[in-house]
Chains A and B, each alone.
Chain A
Amino acid sequence: MSAAPVELPRWADIALVPLVSVVAALLVAGLVVIGIGENPLEATALLLRGALGSAEGIGFTLYYATNFIFTGLAVAVAFHAGLFNIGGEGQATVAGIAMAIACFALPTLPGFLAAPFAILGAAAGGAFWAFIPGWLQAKRGSHVVITTIMLNFVAATLIVYLLREVIGKPGSMQPETPDFPASAILTPMHQLLAPLGLKLPSTPLNSAFFLALMALAAVWLLIWRTRLGYAIRTVGANPRAAAYAGISPAAVTMVAMAISGALAGGLAVNEALGVQHRLVLDFTAGYGFVGIAVALMGRGHPAGVGLAALLFGVLYQGGAELSFDKPAITRDMVVVIGGVLVLFAGALDGLFRRLVAVVLGMGRTP
Chain B
Amino acid sequence: MSSEPAIALTGISKRFGPVAANRDVSLSVAAGSIHGIVGENGAGKSTLMSILYGFYEADAGEIRIAGEPRRIRSPADAIAAGIGMVHQHFMLVETLSVVENVVLGAEGGAFLKRGVAKARAALAKLSGDYGLAIDPDAIVGELSVGLQQRVEILKALYRGAEILILDEPTAVLTPAEADQLFALLRALKAQGKTVILITHKLREIMDVTDRVSVMRRGEMVAHVATAETSPPALAEAMVGRRVLLRVEKQPRERGAPVLEAVGLSCRDGRGTETLKDVNLTLHEGEIVGIAGVAGNGQSELLEVLAGLIQPSRGVIRLGGQILATADRHPARLRDLGLMHIPEDRHRSGLVTAFSAAENAILGYQHDPAFGSGPLLSPARIEAHAREAFAAYDVRPPDPALKTAKFSGGNQQKIVLAREIERGPKVLLVGQPTRGVDIGAIEFIHRRLVALRDQGVAILLVSVELEEVMALSDRIIAMCGGRITGERVAEQADERDLGLLMAGVTDEAA
Whether, in the assembled complex, B184 has its beta carbon less than 8 Å from a beta carbon of chain A, the answer is: no
| Residue of A228, A231, A234, A245 ringed by the most chain B CB atoms within 10 A | A245
Q: Distance (Å) between the CB of B372 and the closest chain A CB?
A: 10
B50–A234 contact, CB under 8 A? no
Convert A48-74 into 0s and 1s, putting 1 for each residue whose CB lies closer than 8 angstroms to a CB of B: 000000000000000000000000000
Q: How many residues of B are counted as interface, with CB atoms below 8 angstroms from the partner's CB atoms?
A: 36
Given contacts A244-B363, A363-B18, A227 and B374 within 8 Å (CB-CB): yes
Q: Identify the closest chain B residue to A242 (Cβ).
A: B351
Contact of A241 with B347 at beta-carbon distance under 8 Å, contacts A7-B17, A246-B363, A363-B18 already known: yes
Instruction: Determine which of B55, B334, B352, B354 lies in contact with A246 in the assembled complex, contact meaning CB atoms within 8 Å.
Output: B334
The residue in chain A whose Cβ has the minimal distance to the Cβ of B350 is A241
Contact A233 B331 (CB under 8 A): no
Query: Are A245 and B353 neighbours in the complex by a CB distance under 8 Å?
Result: no
Q: How far is the CA of A362 from the CA of B17 in the complex (A)?
A: 6
**CB-contact partner of A243 in B56, B308, B353, B361, under 8 A:** B308
Tell me which of A1, A227, A246 contacts B331 (CB under 8 A): A246
Q: Kindly report which residue of chain A lies nearest to residue B405, judged by CB atoms.
A: A7
Task: Specify the chain A residue showing the minimal Cβ separation from B364.
Answer: A245
From known contacts A225-B376, A227-B366, infer whether A245 and B330 are also in contact, taking CB-CB under 8 Å. Answer: yes
Q: Contact: B17 with A237, CB < 8 Å?
A: no
Asked if B229 is an interface residue, CB under 8 A from chain A, the answer is no
In the complex, chain B residues whose CB is within 8 Å of the CB of A227: 365-366, 371, 374-376
Whether B330 contacts A244 by the Cβ 8 Å rule is yes
Query: B408 interface residue, CB < 8 Å from A?
Result: no
CA distance A243 to B329 in the complex (A): 9
**With A230-B358, A230-B365, A245-B330 known to touch, is A1 a contact of B50 (CB < 8 Å)?**
yes
- Residues of chain A contacted by B342 (CB below 8 angstroms): 244
Q: Is there contact, CB below 8 Å, between A246 and B330? A: yes
**Known A227-B366, A227-B374, A246-B329: A240·B16 in contact at CB below 8 Å:** no
* Residues on B with beta carbons closer than 8 Å to the beta carbon of A35: none
Q: A366 contacts the other chain (Cβ, under 8 Å)?
A: yes
How many Å lie between the Cα of A244 and that of B341 in the bound state?
Answer: 10
C-alpha gap A238/B374 in the complex (Å): 22
**Cα–Cα distance between A364 and B58 once the two chains are bound (Å):** 12
- Given A228-B374, A230-B376, do A244 and B348 touch, yes or no (CB 8 Å)? yes
Query: What 0/1 pattern do residues 345 to 363 of A give for CB contact below 8 A with B?
Result: 0000000000000000011
Closest to A4 in B: B16
A174 within 8 A of B: no
Query: Does B169 lie at the interface of the complex (its beta carbon under 8 Å from any beta carbon of A)?
Result: no
- Taken together as a complex, chains A and B put the C-alpha atoms of A253 and B2 apart, in Å, by 64
Closest to B335 in A: A246
Residues of B within 8 A of A230 (CB): 358, 361, 365, 376
Contact A245 B376 (CB under 8 A): no
Residue of B nearest to A5 (CB): B404
Q: Are B376 and A231 interface neighbours, CB within 8 A?
A: no
B362 x A245 contact (CB < 8 A): yes
Residues of the A chain whose Cβ atoms lie less than 8 Å from the Cβ of B340 = 244
* Shortest distance from the beta carbon of B471 to any chain A beta carbon, whole Å: 23
User: Bound state CA distance, A263 and B353, in angstroms?
Assistant: 26
Q: Does B349 contact A (CB under 8 A)?
A: yes
Are B365 and A231 touching (Cβ within 8 A)?
A: yes
- Are A366 and B56 within 8 A (Cβ)? yes
Min Cβ gap B15→A in Å is 6
Q: Which residues of B contact A233 (CB under 8 A)?
A: 351, 354
Across-interface contacts of B192 in A (CB, < 8 A): none
Bound Cα distance A243, B330 (Å): 8
Interface residues of B in 302-331 (CB under 8 A from A): 306, 308, 329-331
Enumerate the 3 nearest inter-chain pairs by beta-carbon distance, A residue then B residue, closest first.
A246-B331, A363-B17, A245-B363
Given A225-B378, A229-B376, 18 more contacts at CB 8 Å? Answer: A225-B375, A227-B374, A233-B354, A234-B354, A237-B352, A237-B354, A238-B348, A238-B353, A241-B347, A241-B350, A241-B351, A243-B308, A244-B348, A244-B362, A245-B331, A245-B363, A364-B15, A366-B56
* Contact surface of B with A, Cβ cutoff 8 Å: 15-18, 50, 55-56, 59, 306, 308, 329-332, 334, 340, 342, 347-354, 358, 361-363, 365-366, 371, 374-376, 378
